Amino acid sequence: MAASNKPSKWSPAPPVELASSNSSLELLSQGAEARVWLLELNESIATTTADGVVGRKRTVNVGSSITVPQLTSFAQQPSPLLVGNGESRTVICKERFPKKYRHPQLDVSLTKSRTKGEARSLIRCQRAGVPCPNVLAIAQWPTESGEQRAGTSYCLFMEKVDGCTVRQYLEQKSDEPAIKSAATEPALKRSKCNDDISHQPQERVTTAIDVDTLRVANTIGKILARMHAAGIVHGDLTTSNIMIRNPPAKSDDSWKPQLVLIDFGLASSISQTNSAGKTKSHHKQQHNAEEKAVDLYVLERAFLSTHPDSDKLVDEVWRGYCEYEDEAMPGGEYSQIANAVMKRLDQVRMRGRKRECFG
């Protein structure tokens, strides 16, 4: 196993099955709730099954009549992680590791339900045509047995998305000299804060606003509208959780960005059907405008706090959101619901400003 960025001493070791696999294992990121591993698998890992017996395909029900392949071992056959052509494959493993501060039974219940919920949201998005990573399998593995209060890790295996995040793309565009400008604040005023500060004007980086970035923003709006129309609220929309599969090497008027939404760990579902299984009326769907508006507000705050002077990009996101047409809806238009969400977004902004002012 070739591992880098070793886990923190405060978190448990990787599951025994994950650590002892013959695949290359690399830790990409680690948070309080989960960590993300990069695995490079080879066809040979599935050839060690005893007597070469091919077992039956196991699945896990994640809710809403959705099933996901269950991975019990890297040696199981057929393997849901391999494509069967003998070539190596790189996948992402999102591991929700056990928390020692929680009761063991509560910890297992929470990690299990959250892993299933993320898989369910991803699959529902894919069925609705929302670009997101493919769900490959779910695994439930114990941590090392010698560890005190060893628990259970739940792993969600997904397709690895190549490319870069929207945040990386915008920051790279912002590094170009053409969009750097001198600060307009007088040197005398700055010197009152710090006598040692230089009187020379400092360069200030602003977010690039051009045809390419506006095209990316408009595409983001359309994807979010498609996701909301499918009854999914992301819960953690930032420019770091939206990837571009085909970032251009240089400006191209014919470029069409291929965006992918990732990290559905906080996603939730909104029921879009009634008891008869029919689509709800527009009036009833407008009752979900609050959750959708909060989702958009999180993205707006992420844009404005991470990318300076990106107001025009945010406006273009809203423009794409309102222009989206849903073929599954009567008349094929999402505009009526989008207008309700935009009105509720204004109310959410006011609540956010009050919280900033009064704490």
Please give the Cα distance from 237 to 297 (Å, whole number).
Answer: 9
Please tell me the distance from the alpha carbon of residue 99 to that of residue 346, in angstroms, as a whole number.
38
Q: Report the distance separating Cα 211 and Cα 104, nearest Å.
A: 53
Contacts of 178 (CB under 8 A, 6+ apart): none
313 CB-near residues (< 8 Å, 6+ apart):
170, 207, 209, 213, 214, 216, 217, 303, 307
323, HSE (Cβ side, Cα atoms, 13 Å): 12
Q: What is the DSSP string of 32-64?
A: SS-EEEEEEE-GGGGS-SGGGPPPPPPEEEEET
Q: Rounded to the nearest 5 degrees, what angle is found at the Cα of 44, between the Cα atoms of 136 and 84?
A: 50
266 half-sphere exposure, CB direction, 13 A CA radius: 11
β-pair type (24-30, 35-41): antiparallel
137 DSSP 8-state letter: E
236 is catalytic: yes
C-beta separation of 226 from 247 below 8 A:
no
Read off the amino acid at residue 348: V
**Among the options 107, 195, 236, 346, which is catalytic?**
236
- 3-state SS class at 238: coil
Per DSSP, the three-state class of 249 is: coil
Alpha carbons 19 and 154: distance in angstroms, whole number: 14
| Catalytic site positions | 236
